[in-house]
């Protein structure tokens, strides 16, 4: 209950054209992520996922993100 599990995902290879990746993935993948730029400019190409939930929830979110990136 005291642990936090976070996953940092480097999206630089996708060259996303949106300023707000948090809103983008919420709107297009129905998945909440934290925009990496919040943690500093060096993380602007990253998103952060909270993994402290059931595996089925993590799997659904990651699958939605993958499908969104394929578009």
Residue-level pLDDT at 1? 55
30 CB-near residues (< 8 Å, 6+ apart): 64
| Distance from C-alpha of 42 to C-alpha of 9, rounded to nearest angstrom | 13
pTM: 0.82
**Per-10-residue mean pLDDT for the chain, 71 residues long?**
81 87 94 92 92 90 95 84
Residue-level pLDDT at 17? 80
């Amino acid at each position: 209950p005291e642990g936090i599990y976070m996953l940092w995902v480097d999206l630089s290879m996708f060259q996303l054209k949106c300023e707000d990746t948090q809103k983008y993935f919420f709107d297009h993948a129905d998945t909440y992520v934290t925009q990496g730029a919040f943690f500093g400019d060096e993380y602007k190409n990253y998103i952060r996922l909270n993994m402290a939930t059931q595996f089925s929830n993590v799997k659904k979110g990651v699958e939605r993100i993958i499908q969104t990136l394929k578009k």
